[in-house]
Copies of this chain bind each other. A is one copy, B any other.
Amino acid sequence: MPLYDQFLEGSVVALSKIISHIENQGDGYQEVLSRLYRKSGNIYRIGMTGPPGAGKSSLVNRLAALFAEQSRKIAIICIDPSSPFTGGAVLGDRLRMQDIPRDKGVFIRSMGSRGSTGGLASATSNVTVALDAFGFDTVFIETVGVGQMELDIIDACDTVVVTLVPESGDAIQALKAGLMEIADVFAINKADRQGADRMVYDVQSALEIRTERSEWPIPIVATQAVNNMNIEELAAGIEGHRKYLETSGSLAKKRGLQLRKKIEGIILRSIRRDLDTTVLSGSVLDDIVANIMQGEEDPYTAGRKLYERFKIGS
């Protein structure tokens, strides 16, 4: 496998090709993943999320540049949202390429969510395995918003940074809606704008009234990505969380849960594929649908019957 040899020798072109192969689920991609997995185990995954326009890309840029200066090998995965209403990601992605010094070897990969129904989280996780095997020690995974798909992606990260801006509106509202549970570090970006102090205060207050607390005191860092302000403080927050996870044993626990989910996903997708090529293709289902439309059956009963015929272990 000459491509894999090139990969092992550090060819970024080979890495890109292997990532595409995995993304497209090309022939034998699972064997490739098994092989890559055995070379992996060092990468640290930092999830970056928040509303559109909060400046996540700029923050990732700054953090990546800072970490790269410390001789860390950095990769960035940008998830292009499927929602047409969150725009800007594609352009931001192109623009950012200019911000990071080329000689730092930062690797950037975009992943689209269109067409990969339900599988984007597993695709992202698989790409991370390839980056890990290639030798990157840190990956930023950037995603807009917190829909179910995004939550699945974020679940696969070690440290999650939630970026808000003073303009985001009611911080408490946003927090109530679910950010509280996923944030390990808050960045209040564009902190030169009016309302930034208030935003920090609101987030702080919201954190204090949480009922479920971990022992990790979530830092809230007021940043200005464009002016490169407090990026080191934000990095310190991330590193602090990492140390907390490592020393408390939470990292091993977290990774165990992530592995369970990964295995679950592999099994479910395999079964799904079997269903597609058996029960759900061909004329069996056509006949059933025709029966239902003629009022001779209902889909719930039909679904149960089909399931009984094809269920696990039957």
A79 to B307, CA, bound (A): 29
Partner of A306, one of B170, B267, B278, B304: B267
Whether A312 is near chain B, meaning CB under 8 Å from some CB there, is yes
Q: Which residues on the B side are within 8 Å of A117 (C-beta)?
A: 148
- Listed residue (A147, A149, A179, A293) with the most chain B CB atoms within 10 angstroms of its CB: A147
A314 to B170, CA, bound (A): 54
| A162 to B, closest residue via Cβ | B84
| A306 to B, closest residue via Cβ | B267
How many copies of the chain does the oligomer comprise?
2
By the criterion CB–CB under 8 Å, are B275 and A263 in contact?
no
Q: Which residues on the B side are within 8 Å of A303 (C-beta)?
A: 262-263, 265-267, 270
| A177 to B, closest residue via Cβ | B84
A118 to B117, CA, bound (A): 11
Q: Which residues on the B side are within 8 Å of A81 (C-beta)?
A: 147
By the criterion CB–CB under 8 Å, are A312 and B51 in contact?
no
- Minimum C-beta distance from A127 to chain B (A): 14
A233-244: CB near B (< 8 Å → 1, else 0) gives 000000000000
